[in-house]
Amino acid sequence: MGSNSCLNFAITHHCVYLSPSFSPNSKLHNPNPNHNQFLLSRSSFIPIATSSFALHSNHTLSHPRSKKLPLRNAPNFYVAASAKAVPLKVMISGAPASGKGTQCELITQKYGLVHIAAGDLLRVEVAAASENGKRAKEYMEKGELVPDEIVVMMVKERLLQPDSQEKGWLLDGYPRSSSQAAALEDFGIHPDIFILLEVPEDNLVERVVGRRLDPLTGKIYHLKYSPPESEEIASRLTQRFDDTEERVKLRLHTHHQNVEAVLSTYKDITVKAGMTNFSGWLISG
C-alpha cells in the first residue's frame, strides 16, 4: 500500500534531477519516515529530461544505458539546490489512493513545505456548512470537480498566506483542469516541479474502499493492509463519505479525464512515477 520512502528533489534553473524513491509494498502509514532514505550526492545526480529509470525490488537503481549506480537503499528524488534561495514550490497529482497522501506527508516533513490540499480546503468548508461548502458537497458526492469559482480563489488565497510564501508549498490535488492551471499562471503562481504518481487501477478501488481515518491522530489505516492496532482505535475510525466503490470509480474517471489537460501546462517540469510489474517504480521525465 502506498509508498513509505520520501521523494527527494531539488531544482536547478534548467533541469530537475531525480532518483526514484518508492517502496511500493509498504503500508499506508509510515511509522518512521526517515527509514530507508538514501540521499544521492551531488555528483550522482541524474538528469531526467532524457532518461528513465527502473527501481528493482532489491533497491538497486538501474539505467538502461549506463552502469548500475551504487544505491543500497530506497532512493529518492533528489536534485541540486537552486542558485537562488527561493522556497520550493511543488505540485503533486495522483489518482485516489495512489499513495499521494503518504508522499505528501513525507515531502512536507522533509522539506519543511506547507501542505495545501484542495480536497482538505473543501472539506473544511463542507464541515462548516458554509455556502461554498454546501455547494461543493453536491459535486464532491458525485465525484465531480467543484466549480472553479469556488476552488480557484480558495487555493490562491491559501498559497499566498505568509507561511506558504516563506516556507514554500506542496500543492496536492490542484490544478485538476486546464482552466485551474491557467488561473494559477494568470496569478503568476508557477511550480518548480510537477509530480504525477501513476498506479494501475486494478487495486485502487480496493485501497480506497478499505481506507479509514483515525480522527484523533489523523493516521490513515486500511482495514486489510494496515489495520488499527487496537479495538479502541478501530471503534473510532471514520470513512470519508466519498470513499465508496461507486464514488471512487467516478473520481477515477474524473481524474483521468483531467490529468492530461493539466500535464500539458507543466510538461517541461513533470516527473512521472509509475508502478512497474516487478514490484518497483519506473520514473521518467
Catalytic residue numbers read 100, 176, 211, 240, 251
**Cα-to-chain-centroid distance, residue 268:** 18
Q: Which stretch binds ligand ADP (CB under 6 A): 2-10, 42-50, 140-148, 221-229?
A: 140-148
Q: How far apart are CA 183 and CA 123, in angstroms?
A: 22
Q: Specify the residue, 75 or 101, whose C-beta has the smaller distance to ligand ADP.
A: 101
Instruction: Tell which positions 77-96 bind ligand ADP, by CB under 6 A.
Output: 96
Sign of CA dihedral 234, 207, 114, 174: negative
Does 151 contact ligand ADP by CB under 6 A? yes
204 binds ligand ADP (CB under 6 A): no
Measured from the CB atom, is 11 or 252 closer to ligand ADP?
252
In the bound state, the residue with its beta carbon closest to ligand ADP is 119
Question: Binding segment for ligand ADP among 31-39, 118-126, 212-220, 266-274 (CB under 6 A)?
Answer: 118-126
**Among the listed residues 54, 56, 139, 239, the single contact to ligand ADP using CB under 6 A:** 139
Instruction: Check if the beta carbon of residue 16 is closer than 8 Å to that of residue 81.
Output: no
First-to-last C-alpha distance (Å) of the chain: 24
Cell of 49: 529530461
- Contact region with ligand ADP (CB under 6 A), list: 49-57, 59-67, 73-81, 175-183: 175-183
- The distance of closest approach from Cβ of residue 164 to ligand ADP in the complex, given in angstroms and rounded to an integer, is 16
Nearer residue to ligand ADP within complex by CB, 139 or 225: 139
Stretch in the footprint of ligand ADP (CB under 6 A) among 108-116, 143-151, 162-170, 216-224: 143-151
Binder of ligand ADP out of 6, 116, 122, 170 (CB under 6 A): 122
Q: Are 228 and 238 in contact (CB under 8 A)?
A: no
The answer to whether 104 contacts ligand ADP (rule: CB under 6 A) is no
Considering only 2, 24, 75, 119, the residue that binds ligand ADP (CB under 6 A) is 119
Query: Smallest gap, in angstroms, from Cβ of residue 135 to ligand ADP?
Result: 11
Among positions 244-263, residues that touch ligand ADP (CB under 6 A) are 251
176 binds ligand ADP (CB under 6 A): yes
Q: In the set 71, 74, 88, 140, which binds ligand ADP (CB under 6 A)?
A: 140
Closest CA to 12 of 61, 37, 49: 49
Q: Using the rule CB under 6 A, give the single segment among 68-76, 138-146, 218-226, 272-280 that binds ligand ADP.
A: 138-146
The contact set with ligand ADP (CB under 6 A) reads 96, 118-119, 122, 139-140, 143-146, 151, 173-176, 180, 242, 251
